[in-house]
Amino acid sequence: MSVLITRLITGEEILGSITESSDDTCTIDNPVHIAASQNPSTGKIDIHMAPFVPLCADKSLTINLKNVLCQYEPVLEIKNKYSTMFGSGIIIPSNTGIAGV
């Protein structure tokens, strides 16, 4: 199971755990919509995550690959944020702080 961002042909980006994949479809567990906005007080970009299908009783979504533009691995900070929400909660450090490692 890998956590990937799936960019749809509509421009929407879905972050989630890819649990199944075939020639025609892929299944995403705990899919969240990713949105970026500029924080007016700091000027930095904030990343927001919200359920992609908030009214769905099932926590997985099967998407036809005809609607997918690409899939890619998110940066570590996004993976860690997703992991705290849906995964093990384990945060992977970006720097060990140990000289020579």
Report pLDDT digits (tens) over 5-55: 999 999 999 999 999 999 999 999 999 999 989 999 999 988 899 999 988
For residue 26, list its beta bridge partners.
21, 63
Query: 87 in helix, strand or coil?
Result: coil
Does the domain at 2-86 match CATH 2.30.30.100? Answer given as yes
pLDDT (0 to 100) of residue 101: 47
Report how far residue 43's alpha carbon sits from residue 30's, in angstroms, rounded to the nearest whole number: 30
Model confidence band, residue 86 (pLDDT cutoffs 50, 70, 90)? confident
What does pTM read for this prediction? Answer: 0.81
